[in-house]
Each structure stands twice: as C-alpha cells, then as structure tokens.
Amino acid sequence: MQYDNAEMARKIAEQVDRHGGRTFYVGGMVRDRLLGRENKDIDIEVHGIPADELGRILSELGEVTAMGASFGIFGLKHYDVDIAMPRKENATGRGHKDFEVFTDPFLGPEKAAMRRDFTMNALMEDVLTGEVLDFFGGQEDMRRGVIRHVNDRTFAEDPLRVLRAAQFAARFGFRVADETVALSSRMDLSALSSERIVGEMDKAMLKAAKPSIFFNEMRAMDQLDVWFPELKALIGVEQEPAFHPEGDVWNHTMRVVDLAAGLRGQASNPRYFMYASLVHDLGKIVTTQVIDGRIRAFGHEYEGVPIAKTFLGRLTNESGLIRYATNMMTLHMRPNMLAAQHAGRKPYMKLFDESVSPEDLLLLSEADFCGRDVDSSTYTYGAILQENLAFYRDAMAKPFVQGRDLIDAGFEPGPDFGEALELGHKLRISLVSKEHALPQVLAFLRRSRGIRND
C-alpha cells in the first residue's frame, strides 16, 4: 500500500479547517518549491488548535506518533509528515540545544515565523489555499540570492545558525547578507559539538556545486579560529606564481574543493574524497620557503599529515576518514609527476598499491592540477593515468602467492609467514608472475627456518 504524504497533509488541513484552525507548509518545503528545487520533506504547522484537540483530530486519520510531543511535534504512522504546533523558544545556554520550548497554538503566523533562522526559511504556505505568507521579505531575498537572518535576538541565541548560513549560501549559490555576516562575527561557536559542525560541513561538501562558498563565508564572518584554524593558516601562504597563478594556498585549496565537487560522484566514497581535497595542501603551512628566488614547499605532502590529523581529529573520530584523507594527501602529487616523467609500469604499480583508493587518487590529482587556475581541458594526463590504472587492476587480478601455497609446499604456519607473504606481495607489484615468485618465497622460508636445499 502506498501512503501519499501530500494527500495526508491536505486531509489534516481540511480537518483542522473544520475545527476553526489553519494549516501551513513551513520551512524548506516552501522555499524549495519557490526555487524550483526538489524537497521530499513535508513539514506542516497547525495554528488555532490546542494540543489535545489536535491529537484527537490526528487520531481520526491514523495512528498518532509523538515525535516530539514536548516540543509540540506529532506524526502519523506510515506517513513522512512532521506536524508541529507554533512554539516559542528561549535560550538557556550557549549550545545549540540549550533552549526552553513553549507551544502556543494561538501565537499567530508572524510571531511563529519569527523564530526561523533566515527569511527564506520563514515562508509559510496555506495547505488549502496556496497563499504564501512572507512576513520578512524572504521571496525578495531569494530573488536576489541573499541569506538574511530574521531577527537579531533569536538568531544570536543559536550559534549553529552561523554555519547554517554558510552551508545554505554554498548549496544555493547565494551570499550571506552583510548584516548577517556582522552579527555572525560576534557569535561564539565554541560550545557547539563537533557532530553539529561536521553535519553542516557535510551538507556543503556533498550538496553544493561550490563548497568553497561555505569556507569563504565562514572567513568573511571571521569564524575560522575555533574549528578551522588550520584552514585559516593557509591564508597568505604564497605559492610560486609560475605554477600557481591563482594566488595563495587558501585560493588554491578553495579551487580544488570546488573542482573535487564536480568529481565526487565518481569517487568510491564522496564524503571522504571531499575532506581529502580540503586538507591536501595543509603541509604548505610549515614547508613553504623561498629558495633561490622561487617559492617552494618541498615535502608538504608528508609534513601535512600531523596537521591534517589534528584538524580532522577536532571534527571527527572517524579513523577511516582520517586514514583515507592522510593517505590521499601523501600521494596526491605522484600521479601527475609520473605521467609528466613518462614513467614505466613499476612506479605506477607501487603508487597504486600504496593508495587506499587508486581511482579516487586520480580524481584528486586532476582536481589539484586544474586548481592552479588552468582550464580543465588542458589536463592531458588523464588518459595515461587511466591506462596505467587499468594495467594495475589487470595485474592484481592474476594469480599470486598466498598462504595456502606455502602450506601446500609443506610449511607449517609460523611467525615468518607474514614476511614471506610480504615478499610475495613485493614481487607481485614488481610484476613477477606467481610461477616465478613462489620459488623465491619458498627459498626465503627455507633460509628463515634453516632448511638446507638438497
């Protein structure tokens, strides 16, 4: 059986109307419909009906689920519709969740909309008539591509809204209004949890065509110090103009992140890939120097690892993400270097063997190259890199020395098995066939165990 969320929202509105109330679509649904964007979430707000009466109305339509009854939020089983009552919020602390919430069915639409973060999110649409209520100029702000806060007091009570402003700007290609930037610059983000920070970052990194807008807006709001000090340190770190006409490392990183956004759909793990693009050049903070009149950053791909671990460790305890990002960081220059040097097969075999994801590594190398303010059509290494990757994949699909081969040869498993298999692996990526590698591995085991050859 299919459950039509929109149809249920209308049924609720009809019943509410019969009882003298009024029902509105609220939040992102109205915004996205007016922008012509898809939004599957249905959030409605019911005015003029007390909580107990609303509960009775809903129970006549289905099984009521109290999604957040203390906040005046209800649902109906089988339907993805959030049903809320108008509410007021008072801050009780500095954190995102430090609020007292009071429901008031007779608060009125304008006062209810005032608690919203931005004018474009404060729009309300009557479910039955389609009338759009726009108390704060949200439609005009959307036409102008502006993210503007609704109210100074309510906005400043929730520091997460600083990051929401930045991620909305990135996702929609908008800019944050000057007065919102100014207010945001005075807000303290230190009480926010890392999960909240990453939650907003993820939306920008995975949904925006240009995630750089997120970071540039955070920079404009002077909000890099608490959570992103390593990124702030990229500002003003110069690069050799002949290789990097785009300017300092901040500019380069922002370009790479945007180019990576265009490639993330091809990555094995788009989220990990985007974070790797963000941290790939952090090592230039500590390695950049002028040598013989030219700007160099020798070894930055290695020196950046501890910096990246500190940065990412502040945001998340996901060891897989950190391992992926630092691995990509150490290797990101090598594909293009090998292609430029017309390297043979073995260096590519070694490179791809060291990579957590060779396919993603080539994507990052492409973004890094094109992040030098060059036309992506000038990137000519792609074909040779893909050809070598295909060769690597084919080579790794061929038979190779495994533990059972050693057992079949009469050897009992022991501490030296690991070393023997490591030797087999080195021979494998050196393109030695199993036929020729196995005798060498067996000879190693004989020497290791003091077995004389007869």
- The per-residue pLDDT for 222 is 98
What stretch of H or E contains 107? none
- Establish if 153 belongs to a structural domain: no
> Does residue 183 lie within any of the structural domains?
yes
Whether residues 243 and 345 share a domain: the answer is yes
Residues 170 and 256 reside in one and the same domain: no
Strand order in the sheet with 42-47: 64-68, 73-76, 81-84, 42-47, 22-26, 124-126, 132-133
Task: For the full predicted model, state whether its pTM sits above 0.85.
Answer: yes
Residue 87 maps to a domain: yes
For CA atoms 96, 210, 125, 24, the dihedral sign is negative
Co-location of 211 and 254 in the same domain: no
Domain that holds residue 437: 403-448
Render each residue's pLDDT in the chain as its tens digit; 454 residues.
Answer: 567 999 999 999 999 999 999 999 998 999 999 999 988 889 999 999 999 999 999 999 999 987 655 568 899 999 999 999 998 876 555 554 555 778 899 999 999 999 999 999 999 999 999 999 999 999 999 999 999 999 999 999 999 999 999 999 999 999 999 999 999 999 999 999 999 999 999 999 999 999 999 999 999 999 999 999 999 999 999 999 988 999 999 999 999 999 999 999 999 999 999 999 999 999 999 999 999 999 999 999 999 999 999 999 999 999 999 999 999 999 999 999 999 999 999 999 999 999 999 999 999 999 999 998 777 778 999 999 999 999 999 999 999 999 999 999 999 999 999 999 999 999 999 999 999 999 999 999 999 988 887 6
Buried b (16+ CB within 10 A) or exposed e, 320-348: ebbebbbbbbbbbbbbbebbeeebeeeeb
Q: What is the CATH number of the domain that holds 92?
A: 3.30.460.10
Predicted pLDDT at 2: 62
DSSP 272-323: HHHHHHHHTTTTHHHH-EEETTEEE-TTHHHHHHHHHHHHHHHH---HHHHH
The answer to whether residue 140 sits within a structural domain is no
**186 inside domain:** yes
Is 373 in the same domain as 232? Answer: yes
Same domain, 425 and 298: no
pLDDT score of 70: 59
Indicate which CATH number applies to the domain containing 203.
1.10.110
Answer for the pair 221, 234: CB distance below 8 angstroms, yes or no.
no
Question: Do 334 and 268 fall into the same domain?
Answer: yes
Task: Tell which residue, 251, 365, 215, 345, has the closest CA to residue 301.
Answer: 365
Q: Is 67 helix (H, G, I), strand (E, B) or coil?
A: strand
In DSSP terms, 44 is beta-bridged to 25, 83
**Alpha-carbon Rg of the chain, whole angstroms?**
29
Regarding whether 393 and 249 lie in a shared domain, the answer is yes
Is residue 138 assigned to a domain? no
Please report the pLDDT score of residue 452 as a whole number.
81
Number of domains composing the chain: 4
State the burial class of residue 25 (Cβ atoms within 10 Å of its Cβ: 0-12, 13-18, 19+).
Answer: buried
Q: Are residues 278 and 196 both part of a single domain?
A: no
Predicted local confidence at residue 93, as pLDDT:
56
Q: Tell me, yes or no, whether 264 lies in a domain.
A: yes
Residue 141 resides in a domain: no
